[in-house]
Amino acid sequence: MSRPRLAAIVLVIGWRPGLSRRHDGRPRERGPDQVSRYLQIVGRVLLAALFAAGAVQKAVDPGQVEGLLRGMGLPGWLVWPALVFNGLGAVALVAGLWLRPVALLLAAYCMVTSVFHFIPADGWQMSIFVKNWAIAGGLLVLAGSQPPR
């Protein structure tokens, strides 16, 4: 495994190969707490993938989002702050930075943007509407699992 890749793993999950003890000499935790930690990391990465894909989509084809925005009476240039927000949110989720406020902001973003997909006559758009709310729910669970600072 290359050093940069190993460094990324250490940064994201705190794992170090070959070490079975903490820096203070106590044994590393095994069991439910460790499993919960890894499940949370996997969940954060999956949520981040959604926002990263949203940022890429906005960068590759901004016209589609600009059309949605203009259709709601909003300026099309809002696609660019949304792209930056999606990208930074994805990075923060993966890196574990400011998880509570980031998860709350991303949840609010999902709730607000769901309005664009509330088209009861279109089943496809309604499924996106419901998924946005489900994603917001997952982000709220993540925010609730973080200690306040």
3-state secondary structure of 21: strand
What pLDDT score was predicted for residue 20? 56
Average pLDDT estimate for 77-87: 95
pLDDT tens profile 20-70: 556 676 666 566 688 888 999 999 999 999 999 999 999 999 998 899 889
> In the predicted model, is pLDDT for residue 8 greater than 90?
no
pTM of the shown model: 0.74
Q: Is residue 3 part of a domain?
A: no
Q: Is residue 68 part of a domain?
A: yes
> Residue 79 to residues 62, 84, 148: CA-CA distances in angstroms?
7, 9, 31
> In the predicted model, is pLDDT for residue 3 greater than 80?
no
Q: Is residue 37 part of a domain?
A: no
Q: Nearest to residue 60, comparing CAs of 52, 48, 69, 68?
A: 52
3-state secondary structure of 65: helix
Confidence class for position 71, pLDDT limits 50, 70, 90: confident
pLDDT tens profile 102-149: 999 999 999 999 988 898 999 998 999 999 999 999 999 999 987 776
> In the predicted model, is pLDDT for residue 4 greater than 90?
no
What is the domain count for the chain?
A: 1
What pLDDT score was predicted for residue 109? 96
What pLDDT score was predicted for residue 108? 97
Contact 86, 54 (CB under 8 A): yes
What pLDDT score was predicted for residue 2? 62
Q: Is residue 87 part of a domain?
A: yes
3-state secondary structure of 15: coil
Q: Is residue 78 part of a domain?
A: yes
Q: Is residue 32 part of a domain?
A: no
> In the predicted model, is pLDDT for residue 13 greater than 70?
no
Q: In terms of residue numbers, what domain contains 89? A: 44-144
Beta bridge partners of 21: 27
Cβ-Cβ contacts under 8 Å for 66 (sequence gap 6 or more): 76, 77, 79
Q: Is residue 4 part of a domain?
A: no
Q: Is residue 84 part of a domain?
A: yes
